[in-house]
Amino acid sequence: MTAGDSLRRLRDAKPLIHQITNYVVMNETANATLALGALPVMAHAREEVEEMSAIAGALVLNIGTLSPHWVDAMLLAGRVANERGIPVVLDPVGAGATTYRTETAKRILDEVDITVLRGNAGEVATLVGVDAEVRGVESIATGSDPADLARQAGRQLGLVASVTGVVDHVSDGETVIAIENGHPLMATITGTGCMSSALTGCFLAVNRDAPLAAAAEALVAFGVAGEDAAQGANGPGSFHVGLYDALAALDPDTLDGRARVS
């Protein structure tokens, strides 16, 4: 685990993370990106996404409040990122809940080379054809063990699958890394999944050739920040505030030692 080293390089390089994401969490993922040490930029117009993605260190696509113009923009931005070798994260928010979300996520997977697919178990299961129950944007149940699901998704889709839950599982189709960092309060606020996707983009920007490691390191960093933020939190509101403080306070020197990875 070299999450500490990646964080150090990220804060030094301050990569630009282009995010085409949902209305609910734009402020939150921008602030999480900034708190970690990278530079967020939100831009969704078809008139500019290609130019913006071309100068980014990573591109994060999130379908949490999708509509046709936004999907077009995601495809345009994704193609440019692919041409330039810029890593792309897809967060298939709510895949499985409506046909439109499922089909859009599949279309993006078809038309863009996704580096990391970051979703909950229900969303990822839906995209690989495993039975799943998704209610709105919550994963209720899947017919598969999460480690197996991550491996299957990684292999079947030809990418790194990052399946988050009580324990997170990241896989390139062969190796599976389980990450046990985090805190139950992370499930009490909206947007922690989306934030983890944004942070995955940050770590990818400084680890282009090691997406499996980058995806795991992002979840370690976010989980450790969640553990720190839970100290002294009185509920979801104060936890949410503390999460940004904790991301900014992450210490590269101690981060690897706190990783609970297997």
Distance in angstroms (rounded) separating the CA atoms of residues 243 and 252: 17
Does 69 help bind a second copy (rule: CB under 8 A)?
yes
Does 171 help bind a second copy (rule: CB under 8 A)?
no
Does 141 help bind a second copy (rule: CB under 8 A)?
no
Q: Which of 165, 174, 86, 54 is nearest to 119 (CA)?
A: 165
Distance in angstroms (rounded) separating the CA atoms of residues 66 and 56: 22
Can you tell me which of 43, 128, 147, 167 binds a second copy, judged by CB under 8 A? Answer: 43
Give Cα 3 to chain centroid, integer Å: 16
Does 13 help bind a second copy (rule: CB under 8 A)?
no
Q: How many CB atoms lie within 10 A of CB 173?
A: 18
- DSSP characters for 81-109? HHHHT--EEEE-TTBTTBHHHHHHHHHHH
Number of residues that bind a second copy (CB under 8 A): 60
By C-beta, is 23 or 209 nearer to a second copy?
Answer: 23
Span of 50-58, 141-149, 153-161, 197-205 interacting with a second copy by CB under 8 A: 50-58
Distance in angstroms (rounded) separating the CA atoms of residues 157 and 173: 9
Does 205 help bind a second copy (rule: CB under 8 A)?
no
Binding mask 84-113 for a second copy (x = CB under 8 A): ----------x--xxxxx------------
| Dihedral over Cα of 9, 15, 18, 22: its sign | positive
Binding residues for a second copy, rule: CB under 8 A, are 16, 18, 22-28, 30-31, 34-35, 39-45, 47-48, 51-52, 55-56, 64-69, 94, 97-101, 135-138, 188-191, 234-238, 240-246, 248-249
